[in-house]
Structure 1
Amino acid sequence: MKLKIRTFIVAFIVNSLMFSLIHYLIDNSYSLNQLIKMGLFFGLSMGLFYTFLMPLITNKK
């Protein structure tokens, strides 16, 4: 369980920061508030994906 929590937190932080940074550098028409909300949503969804769905996909036998 600790491994899943750690995986989720790392995936959440990395994906949120990278998504927001890429959008900030490429298309600077978003406000800081919008960038934070978009980054949090993307980080949450990718964190859940890496934690719960990716092991199911990679462990197919």
Structure 2
Amino acid sequence: MFSPSIKHLIQEKSGSFLIPASRIASVQDDNPLYHAFLILTKIKYSKIPVLDKDELHRH
């Protein structure tokens, strides 16, 4: 259970805790570096996750 002040903060800021999947960009670890650079510059993100295909299949 949360304290009333924390509960209020969570309710007030709930929209900023999660990012919709449609706004997430990623690259695979075997993509060329220029592909990641294009995503970073085109979408104007400062960071994007690099996914490992083997790790994705383990879960």
Structure having the larger proportion of residues in helix: 1
More contact order relative to length (CA 8 Å, sep ≥ 6)? 1
* TM-score by shorter chain over 0.5: no
Rg: which structure is higher? 2
TM-score, length basis structure 1: 0.28
Higher strand share: 2
